[in-house]
Amino acid sequence: MSARRAAVLFTGGVVPRLTDARKELRRAQIADAAVRCFSRNGLERTSIAEITAESGLSAGSIYTHYRNKADLVRAATRVVLARHAEVLGEYAAADTPPDPDELLARLVAAIDPVAARVGVQTWGEATTDPAIREVVADMTERMRAMLHDCVTAWLVKVGHHEPAGAREHAAPIAHRVLSLYLAELLHTALRSTTEETVS
C-alpha cells in the first residue's frame, strides 16, 4: 500500500495539507540546497537530482514547489534581495543614514562568498537564457532602486537637500554604488574560488 493511500485511509479520506508557513519553510530549504549545489558545481552542471539529495527531500517535493531550475534561481535571488531590502530599509529609516562610501563598505563587508559565486554564475547564464536574464535584470533594478532610496534619505537627512532635488541628485550616486558593489561581488567570487582551489 502506498504512503498516500495509507494517509487517505488513516485520515478518513483527507490528506493533510502543508500549512502556508511549512510551505515557505520547505521552499526555503530547497532554495538553500540549490544555492549550495550551484556554488559547488555551477548552474549548468547542477541537476535536480543533486538538489534533491542536498535538500534531503524527494524529487516530487522539489517539483511541487519549483517548476524547473530557472524557478529555483529566481527563488534564490529573491532570498538575497529580501535580505538587502531589510538592511537597506533600516539604513534609509535611520536618523543618520550612512553616506555612500559607508553604505558601500557595509554592503561589501556583508558579501557571502557562496552567494557571490552563485550570483556571478547567474550573470553568465543570463547572457544566453532569457528566463535567467529577466531574473538578473529585475534583481539589479530592484537593488538600484533600494540604493537610490538610501542615498536620497542620506541627502535629505544629512545633506539637508529638498526631497525632489535629492532624488535627482541621488540617481547617479546610487548607480556608482551599485557598480562598485557588483565589482566587489565578482572579486569575492573569483577570490573564494581561487582560495578553494589552492587549499
How buried is residue 66: exposed, middle or buried, by Cβ count under 10 Å (0-12/13-18/19+)?
Answer: buried
145 is written with which cell numbers? 532602486
CA distance 50 to 47: 5
CA distance 35 to 47: 12
CA distances from 4 to 47, 63, 82 (A): 27, 17, 35
CA distance 33 to 55: 5
State the architecture of 1-66 in CATH terms: Orthogonal Bundle (1.10)
pLDDT in tens, 42-77: 888 888 899 999 999 988 888 889 988 878 888 877
Question: What is the mean predicted confidence (pLDDT) over 165-191?
Answer: 95
Q: Where are the domains of the chain?
A: 1-66, 74-199
**pLDDT above 90 as % of the chain:** 37
Q: Is the pLDDT of residue 9 over 70?
A: no
